Structure formats: structure tokens, C-alpha cells
Amino acid sequence: MAKKQKAKIKSLAVVTPGGDAPGMNTAIRAVVRTAIYYGIRVWGIEKGWYGLINGLVKEMGPKSVSGIINKGGTILHTRRTPEFRKKQCRKMAYNELRLRDIDGMVVIGGDGSMHSSYAFMQEFGIPVNVIPATIDNDIPGTDYTVGFDTAVNTAVEAMDKIRDTATSHERVFVIEVMGRHNGFIALDAGLASGAEAIIIPEVKYDLKNLAKMIKRGHERGKESFIIVVAEGCNAVNKTAKYLKDSLNIEVRVTNLGYVQRGGSPSAFSRELACKLGAAAVEVMLAGKCGYLVGALSDKVSLCPISKLINIKKKIDLDELRLANMLAT
């Protein structure tokens, strides 16, 4: 339901529901400062949808976003809010917007936030634009999400360190990275760190072949192996056990976990957040709402959210082929 809205926007709110991602603060700053630049009142909704349901809404000014361009997390805080699935809670949230004469919303978040924004917009006709922000990069309609590049860099840095131990001890490491049901982090971080194998939910894996590859590597005198496993495969322990038992070698498991969600956003994540934050406001003021405001081929792009509902973003299998080819 992307549409041209008739009424002029005089006041808008910004919210970061769902998981935090590095660069969310940069996006909040861009939204707030763009709104103020155009003379629009801007409100920050604290603690995601929970805060909107419960009236945790405060007016923001240029100073309220000073010094946050480089800070991880979200200054608005967030909370998983399953109760937002209930119509009665969404009605309470809508009432809080009406109470303050808020005419539009910019939502900064992941796949779940995009879906709930769509339901909210459909139900109450409130203009919403969504900025894709999640470390998972699993949102269609944009090449990259805010936070993904930072998370990949964090994972690569960690894997470079693990490689030192792997090489010194001539060990195999099985490393779990985040990504929910998708392998975007695993694939990019695996390619960039020279991982010997990348296991992702999108592609069937074969432990026998993996063991053969390691055996061949040992015969060639290879000193270390890094196997990256996306969390969605739920396969780290199984993989480690299989390799240990079938090859009689030392295998260690590391879960990179929440370090991937935190930290100062990379220059790429910040630049993306600045561009998308400003665009989300500018297009709304130009009367366009119901869009995912993303980036395709390095340009800001608008995709109607209605076209993205229940669409799965495709992973680049050629990148996996490349990673495999270069690792052997």
C-alpha cells in the first residue's frame, strides 16, 4: 500500500522496534535532523512498539541526537513486543499517536518491524516509511541493511584472531555467526576471512564432503581450517562432533553471538543510515508513504512494502561458489 497521502505532515515519530543494529542511532539522527530542517515536529518512541502502546513518547530536538552518529545500539531503546500482534494493543498505540497529533512514522528496523508496520498502516491509514536496519541483511528491496556491514566486519575481525590460534595449533574451528534463518552474514564474513567452508541454511550441506576436504587439506600440509556456520542451520556442534570423530582431530567451537550486534557502526553503515534516514522523511513530506526506503546499486530506492510482504531475499550463490573456489 504505497500511496500519495493528501494531508500535509506536520509532526512525525521515529521508532526502532526489534533487534538493535549498529547504525540505528545514525539513522535516528538523520530522521530527527531532517524533520527539523523542514520545520516538522519530531517525536521519539522509546522501547519499540511496547513504548508506543504505553505512551513512552518524547519530543526530540537537534540536541537530543548530538554525539550519537558513532554509537552502537539505539538511544531510543527497544523491546521485543509480541503483544503488538493483538489488535487491541495496536489500537492503543494508534491512540497515543493521535493524542500528540503525530501524522506519520519512520520505522527503523528489520523484517519483523517491516511486517508489523505494514499491518499498522493498513489498519489505521497512518503514513509509514521503513528504513531497513538489521545485522541479518534479510530484507528484500534493498541490497544492504543498516548494520549488516558492521556486523560482517566484526565477524571478520574475530575470525582473523581465531585463525591465529587455529594455525598455531593446527586446529579446525567451527564458528557460528548470527543471521536468524539466513546466511548473509556467514557468506560475506566467510568469503572475507578466507573460511575453508561456509554452511548456510539456503544450501544443503554434506558433512562427509566437508571431512574429505579437510583430509585432503591435511595431506597437502594445510595448517588450519575455519568452518563458518550460520545460526539458522543449528549445526555447529553436530559438525564439530562429526569432524572430530571421523578424522580423529582437534576441533574447537566458537559462537560469536551478540558481539556482532554491538559496536560503533562502520563508515558504510553510517553513510547508508544518513542517506536512508533523510530520504525516509523527505519522501514522506513529498507525499509518499508505505515504502521501504532502501538502497539498490548504491542509490536510494523506494519499494512499496506491499510488494515485500512474505518475499524471501535471495542469497548470491555465486559468492558461495567463489568462496569455495578461493578456499581450496
Q: What is the set of active-site residues?
A: 136
Which residue's CB is nearer to ligand F6P, number 135 or number 213?
135
**E-assigned strands of the chain?**
3-4, 11-15, 41-45, 57-60, 104-109, 128-132, 172-177, 197-199, 225-230, 251-255, 288-289, 291-296, 299-304
Residue 247: exposed, middle, or buried by beta-carbon count in 10 A (0-12, 13-18, 19+)?
middle
Three-state secondary-structure class, residue 109: strand
**In whole angstroms, how close is the CB of 132 to ligand F6P at the nearest point?**
12
Amino acid (1-letter code) at residue 327: A
The secondary structure element, H or E, covering residue 168 is: helix 148-169
Which residue's CB is nearer to ligand F6P, number 134 or number 224?
134
The residues of the shown chain that bind ligand F6P, judged by CB under 6 A, are 19, 80, 110, 134-136, 178-180, 231, 261
Three-state secondary-structure class, residue 284: helix
**In whole angstroms, how close is the CB of 151 to ligand F6P at the nearest point?**
8
Amino acid (1-letter code) at residue 258: Y
Which residue's CB is nearer to ligand F6P, number 110 or number 183?
110
Distances, alpha carbon 115 to alpha carbons 147, 199, 307, in Å: 19, 28, 11
With b meaning 16 or more CB within 10 Å and e meaning fewer, what string describes 158-174? bbeebbeebeeeebbbb
Pick the closest to residue 31 from 97, 108, 100 (CA basis).
108
Helix axes 207-219, 236-247, angle to 10 degrees: 50
The DSSP bridge pattern shows strands 128-132 and 291-296 to be parallel
**In whole angstroms, how close is the CB of 78 to ligand F6P at the nearest point?**
9
**In whole angstroms, how close is the CB of 267 to ligand F6P at the nearest point?**
21
Size of the chain, expressed as the number of residues it contains: 328
**In whole angstroms, how close is the CB of 178 to ligand F6P at the nearest point?**
3
**In whole angstroms, how close is the CB of 136 to ligand F6P at the nearest point?**
5
Which residue's CB is nearer to ligand F6P, number 34 or number 78?
78
- The residue with cell 539498490 is 296
Pick the closest to residue 153 from 294, 23, 293 (CA basis).
23
Which residue's CB is nearer to ligand F6P, number 133 or number 281?
133
Which residue's CB is nearer to ligand F6P, number 19 or number 44?
19
Amino acid (1-letter code) at residue 172: V
